[in-house]
Chain A
Amino acid sequence: MLRQEHKFIHKHLLELQSLSKEDIELILETARPFKTLFTRSIKKVPTLRGRTVVLLFYEPSTRTRTSFELAAKRLSADTVNIAVQTSSVQKGESLIDTAKTLESMKADFIVIRHFYSGAPYLLSQYVSSSIINAGDGFHEHPTQGLLDIFTIKEKKGKVKDLKVVIVGDILHSRVARSNLWGLTKLGAKVVLCGPPTLIPLDIDKIFPQVEIEYNLDKAIKNADVINILRVQFERQLEHLFPSVREYSLLYGMNKDRLKHAKNDVLILHPGPMNRGIEITTDIADGLHSVINEQVTNGIAVRMAILYLLSIANSKPKKELPK
């Protein structure tokens, strides 16, 4: 009952770092009823009729962009996709000018993915639309973090005290950062595992409760959840580990290795997967994998975010009776 009284008061969703435990729990609780819509023949509700959601993606994306678009459409909002490659950005328009233009077109929400950390924050300082971060540089990918936590909570019934291992390129991963903030706020025991060159220095100073283990077999001992990160080849990784083959040998998830974890371990991956590198096909498509459910849950979580931000930004036009 107490949870119901908690109010979401944020104008933007920029990161999980600045959200409270109660905010995160409210988002997860709100996503659940949205998920029940997906089994109906009409998957749409009229909640955000007349609102406009602009998707502004400066980096390639299939699932996040599609997921946000479907989330908005299932709430009956109108969506506009800006393909940066064919937009005025190519003529040299600055990020702020682009956003100002969209604001003038009365965009209620701007969902942005950008290669620079902090780009969504910058926008939030200049425009009146609600900004939703869909991944910024190495900073955060808050909706991915939320959907991972939603999936864990749905499958395990709780998050607190679970052992969650995040494996791979922690250094360049905004998914890892959002997971770290969200999971530690909810009381999970997080273990980071990857080549020493891909684990940020001093991360234990920011997250003193988080354990770091470079040996994957040891790290996943008794793990409840393993979140496997993608090897991000576009981030110039050549200098950071000797070879893909070695990475796969030391940090790739396979059947033999998985025996070290608990019998009912969950395997998560934010996608897109490099099959045969960080995860073998039998694990990706195996019993423990919830990778496809993560995608379904992503829509529900993004619907919850759009909904809660809309309520928080309500402007009473007149007094309405209760």
Chain B
Amino acid sequence: MKKVKIIINKTELDKILNRLTKLIVKKYKDLNNLAIVGIHTNGVYLAQRIVEKIKQLTNKKIKLGYIDITFYRDDIGYRKNIQQPKDTQIDFNIDNKDILLIDDVLFTGRTVRAAMEQLLEIGRPKTISVLVLIDRGLRELPIYAEFVGKKIATTHKQQIELLLKETGGDDTVVIYTK
């Protein structure tokens, strides 16, 4: 029986997203040049929420894309339980854009690396930055997130999961030991 502990509840999650939205608006002077790309699966929903919040705050509609990194993984051939790939959907030209990649948890940094590799094959953005809800440390690559919702020190034995409404959860983040 694993012990599940809630580390972010529903109200906190919304507060964090509001704070991150304000930081985005403050940092990107030219919001027209910004495009947000969510990494499947939870990053996609977080990206949708943040785009909606930016719209409420500034009345600007930020370009939104989705990215699936399955084909760019560096562990194909080493593990059998790789998820079924989903569609990468970026229907705009990313050349010279400021791209903000969004994911739920930043861990080893390998997902962000794969997402960057794919973005650079699609075009040549002006900048790429990263936003994550949770930075749990334990990086294996020199990857840095400019926008972080919450930092949590973890061990390899622990698992962090974001349970969003969109996937049948209740908008909380939980931690447990595998």
Which A residues have a C-beta under 8 Å from some C-beta of B? 3-4, 7, 26, 29-30, 32-34, 36, 40, 42, 44-48, 51, 75, 307, 310-312, 314-318, 320-322
Bound-state Cα–Cα, A40 to B117, Å: 14
Least CB distance from B174 to A in Å reads 15
Chain A residues contacting B80 (CB-CB under 8 Å) are 7, 311-312, 314, 316
Partner of B72, one of A36, A46, A318: A46
Contact between chains at A314 and B156 (CB < 8 Å): no
Interface segment among B1-9, B18-26, B84-92: the answer is B84-92
Among A29, A36, A40, A46, residue most surrounded by chain B Cβ atoms (within 10 Å): A46
Check B68 for interface membership: any CB of A closer than 8 A. Answer: yes
Check B28 for interface membership: any CB of A closer than 8 A. Answer: no
Partner of A46, one of B82, B84, B117: B117
Which of B50-94 touch A at CB < 8 Å? 68, 70-73, 75-89
Bound-state Cα–Cα, A75 to B77, Å: 13
The 26 listed contacts between A and B (C-beta, < 8 Å) are: A4-B83, A7-B81, A30-B84, A32-B87, A33-B68, A33-B70, A33-B86, A33-B88, A36-B89, A45-B71, A45-B72, A46-B72, A47-B73, A48-B76, A75-B71, A307-B85, A310-B77, A314-B78, A314-B79, A315-B77, A316-B78, A316-B79, A316-B80, A317-B78, A320-B78, A321-B107
10 extra interface residue pairs, beta carbon distance < 8 Å, beyond A7-B80, A314-B77: A30-B84, A30-B85, A33-B88, A40-B121, A42-B121, A46-B71, A47-B71, A75-B71, A307-B71, A307-B85
Partner of B85, one of A33, A312, A316: A33
Contact between chains at B72 and A47 (CB < 8 Å): yes
Bound-state Cα–Cα, A314 to B71, Å: 15
Contact between chains at A310 and B76 (CB < 8 Å): yes
Which B residues have a C-beta under 8 Å from some C-beta of A? 68, 70-73, 75-89, 107-108, 117-118, 121-122, 138, 156, 159
Chain A residues contacting B88 (CB-CB under 8 Å) are 33, 36
Bound-state Cα–Cα, A36 to B121, Å: 14
Bound-state Cα–Cα, A7 to B80, Å: 9
Chain B residues contacting A48 (CB-CB under 8 Å) are 76
What is the chain B residue whose CB lies nearest that of A47? Answer: B71
Q: A40-B121, A311-B80, A314-B80 are in contact. Are A320 and B75 (CB under 8 A)?
A: yes
Bound-state Cα–Cα, A46 to B117, Å: 10
Least CB distance from B160 to A in Å reads 10
Contact between chains at A4 and B84 (CB < 8 Å): yes
Chain B residues contacting A46 (CB-CB under 8 Å) are 71-72, 117
**Closest 7 pairs between A and B when the two form their complex, measured CB to CB:** A45-B71, A47-B71, A33-B85, A42-B121, A314-B80, A33-B87, A4-B84
Partner of A322, one of B70, B71, B73, B159: B159
Chain A residues contacting B138 (CB-CB under 8 Å) are 321
Chain A residues contacting B122 (CB-CB under 8 Å) are 40, 42
Chain A residues contacting B84 (CB-CB under 8 Å) are 3-4, 26, 29-30
Chain B residues contacting A321 (CB-CB under 8 Å) are 107-108, 138, 156
Least CB distance from A130 to B in Å reads 12
Bound-state Cα–Cα, A18 to B159, Å: 38
Bound-state Cα–Cα, A311 to B80, Å: 5
